[in-house]
Structure 1
Amino acid sequence: MGADGWRGVPDASRAALRAADVVIGGPRQLDLLPPDCAGERVPWPTPLRPAVPRLLAAHAGRRITVLASGDPMYYGIGRALTEVLGADAVRVLPHPSSVALACARLGWPREDVDVVTLVGRPAARLAAVLHEGRRLLVLSAGAGTPAEVAALLRDRGFGPSRMRVLEQLGGDRERTGAAVTADAWSEAPGDPLNVVAVECLRTPGAARLGAVPGLPDPAYEHDGQLTKRHVRAATLAVLAPAPGELLWDVGGGSGSIAVEWMRTHPSCRAVCVERDPERAARIGRNAERLGVPGLRVVVGAAPGALAGLPTPDAVFVGGGLTAPGLLDAVWEALPAGGRLVANTVTLESEALLADAYRRHGGDLTRLAVAHTVPVGGFTGWRQAMPVTQWAVEKPPTGTT
């Protein structure tokens, strides 16, 4: 059901609502139903997601219809229902989503728009999709979301970005606000049912953060424990993140590998293990700043701190290689096909990687980077410490 209420509900959806023994939905939506929808009306409790299994079980054996805003399978309740009941047990009757309606009002091709939901999620995740010239639709958590978006845009160097707030899309009280830059935003909170449209424009001189690994080193807060830009890009290339995969970043330092792993796709996940509490807090701040606030930080020394973590698809070891049993522990934790990458600059750790290479195979690589420096009135090269990298994919059980 959209903001237009009952008059916008198609015949098939009306029939399902009239035939229901129980109708579950938000209070606003339940109030829009006509009297001939005689089923018991049950409002969703708060928080919603944990209540889904319990509420469905309480009405087992009855015909249940759930009211959703727009398209239930697009950032909606449909996902929770199919996860609990299975797709075959749920019949979905969608309505145009707020995204479809917003694109129609703005004249924006849907395929050219990035969508970010802030419903039940931190605003910091918006930072990961800020790129010059991109168009964004932000699904709001309430009336205060537009101001929150404007503040984040200003803080992340996108103050000139143009914002428009679209309220009550498809309803009698639909309203599309005028375009205002984030820098100039001073609008009072409006209707809580809104979508924020953003046309991204970077502040002149602001740092440019690309969509591929290898962000500029100054993008990170660090104390010197940072995998530098060029080595970081090479490391992410062999870690090869794919949508939905989980990384363990062991010896996180500043968290740069985990942060850029997660920035490759919204569904990528990572756990950063760092024994130093101060560095662990710094990792959290970097994740928040760079748009991946979902990065999990575990404070503790590996391998002990690895116990109980979910099975990784890939592991990066950037520190603590000489800790007894660490390499063997992460190797055992990996499933077949999982990737392990370890970097070091010390001879002692290099010897461990050479032994692991002998036992498990893979690739052993020396990475050397040099930067220009002034030499009197001329320019020369200064060599950074070379990095030894071991990268390997775990073979199926029973193979070598």
Structure 2
Amino acid sequence: MISVIGTGPGDKALITHAAQALIDEADVLVGWRRLLSEFDTHPAEKHLMGVDIDATIEWLRVNQTRKIVVLASGDPMLFGIGKRIAEAFAEHERQIVPGISSIQALFSAVGLDMNDVYITSSHGKQPNFDFILMHDKTALVTDKVIGPYQIAQEILSRGFKRTLIIGENLGYPTQRISVLAPEQVQAEYDMNVVIIVNERQ
């Protein structure tokens, strides 16, 4: 059985009991290097997931009779590996256990409700900022190419007034949250998600 579990935004205390029980029983842990490093002392075999997701899917297919746990940061079904595995395996071959997403963690940290939020990602794609900025509240999972600075520049180029809430390293000891006007956004940030709030909110 393949279990895809959300490990939350970084703090092990935020892993659900259901997810932790599956981790405890696993024969194999599969994940990115950063996630596997959190379980160095776990006795299970470790299988490193690389950029070739198809190769990982094929490895899972060959080994699916074992107790495999695929570690996903945040929530597996929110711009995570869960979608690919759900598409590749039948329901009786896999299970997906949700986790707390970094977006949820950031909204909670600043006391902002998630009602009516539009959620998207800049991972490996060019977001449609004209569409994004039509919304009063947007959350973006960012990447190294399009992060807070690039988002701020898109806002400034349109002459819009928005507030950016930038959550870096959420759930880790180095967590930092900044609430800024677009012109205050710096060029570089650590691993982050961004909330864009319309000033009229």
**Do the structures match in fold with TM over 0.5?**
yes
Residue aligning to 1:76: 80
Residue aligning to 1:164: 165
The structure with more radius of gyration? 1
Query: 2:58 aligned to 51, 54, 59, which one?
Result: 54
Conserved in 2, the CA contact under 8 Å of 1:22 and 1:39?
yes
1: CA distance, partners of 2:116 / 2:110: 12
Q: 1:42 to 1:64 in 2, by over 3 A?
A: same
Q: 1:3 to 1:153 in 2, by over 3 A?
A: same
Residue 23 of structure 2 is aligned to residue 17 of structure 1: yes
2: CA distance, partners of 1:199 / 1:158: 15
Structure 2 unaligned segments of length 5 or more: list them.
1-6
Conserved in 1, the CA contact under 8 Å of 2:168 and 2:193?
yes
Q: CA deviation at 1:147?
A: 1.1
Q: In structure 2, what residue type is equivalent to 1:2?
A: G
Structure 1 unaligned segments of length 5 or more: list them.
203-400
Q: CA deviation at 1:186?
A: 4.4
Match runs of 1:231-250 below 5 Å:
none
Q: CA deviation at 1:68?
A: 0.6
What secondary structure does 1:18 align onto?
Answer: helix
1: CA distance, partners of 2:154 / 2:35: 31
Q: How high is the sequence identity, in percent, across the aligned residues? A: 24
Residue aligning to 1:44: 49
Instruction: Give aligned pairs, total.
Output: 194
Residue aligning to 1:199: 197
Residue aligning to 2:131: 128
Residue aligning to 2:37: 31
Q: CA deviation at 1:171?
A: 2.5
Q: 1:150 to 1:46 in 2, by over 3 A?
A: same
TM-score normalised by structure 2 residue count: 0.85
1: CA distance, partners of 2:199 / 2:55: 41
Match runs of 1:333-344 below 5 Å:
none
Q: In structure 1, what residue type is equivalent to 2:133?
A: L
Residue 194 of structure 2 is aligned to residue 189 of structure 1: no
Query: 1:145 aligned to 119, 141, 147, which one?
Result: 147
Match runs of 1:1-400 below 5 Å:
1-35=7-41, 37-48=42-53, 50-123=54-127, 125-131=128-134, 134-142=136-144, 145-155=147-157, 157-180=158-181, 182=182, 184-192=183-191, 194-200=192-198
1: CA distance, partners of 2:134 / 2:16: 39
Q: In structure 2, what residue type is equivalent to 1:149?
A: I
Conserved in 2, the CA contact under 8 Å of 1:165 and 1:197?
yes
2: CA distance, partners of 1:175 / 1:77: 26
Q: CA deviation at 1:10?
A: 3.0
Q: CA RMSD in A?
A: 2.3
2: CA distance, partners of 1:42 / 1:80: 17
TM-score normalised by structure 1 residue count: 0.45
Conserved in 2, the CA contact under 8 Å of 1:116 and 1:126?
no
Q: 1:79 to 1:197 in 2, by over 3 A?
A: same
- Where relative contact order (Cα < 8 A, 6+ residues apart) is larger, the structure is 2
